[in-house]
Amino acid sequence: MSKQRIDGLRQSEFFMLMRIANHCKEQENEHLKNGTAPLPGVRISTLSKATNSSMPGVSQMINVLENAGYVERITTKKDRRVVYVNLTEAGRVMLKTAPRPMLNLLTRTTEEMGEEKTRQFIALMDEFSETIERLNRESN
């Protein structure tokens, strides 16, 4: 299953796309409830904490998604050091048109494993992937 790709994205990248969409939706709902202005996206540090992944690992995955045109990085005039990530129109279309069996399987698996175990699994997979990539670079 690890070799399966969804429109050219690895499963972990697709899962990150879903995670970004979910965080942005949660933030939007929170701001509507509180009557405050919505944020332009989700911070990379928030994604790092939510997935128990390293900041460089999340940034690398965001780079892949950005290069594919599925997400964009947004800075604010107030503080240019803070970077937000949000879906592009292509990213929203990707999530809407992704194969339903894959989405259903991911949703059911996440629900059955629970939030904490899912975070741990993602963190381990990220670490595993980063290690493989590092070892490949070192051997070349």
Indicate the domain borders of the chain.
5-139
Architecture of domain 5-139: Orthogonal Bundle (1.10)
Q: Provide the pLDDT confidence category of residue 5 given band limits of 50, 70 and 90.
A: low
C-alpha 47/C-alpha 65 separation (Å) is 14
By the 8 A CB rule, do 42 and 111 touch? no
Q: Provide the pLDDT confidence category of residue 66 given band limits of 50, 70 and 90.
A: very high
Mean pLDDT (the chain) is 84
C-alpha 139/C-alpha 62 separation (Å) is 25
Per-residue confidence (pLDDT) for residue 73, from 0 to 100: 95
pLDDT tens-digit series, residues 69-120: 999 999 888 888 888 999 999 999 988 887 666 667 777 888 898 888 887 8
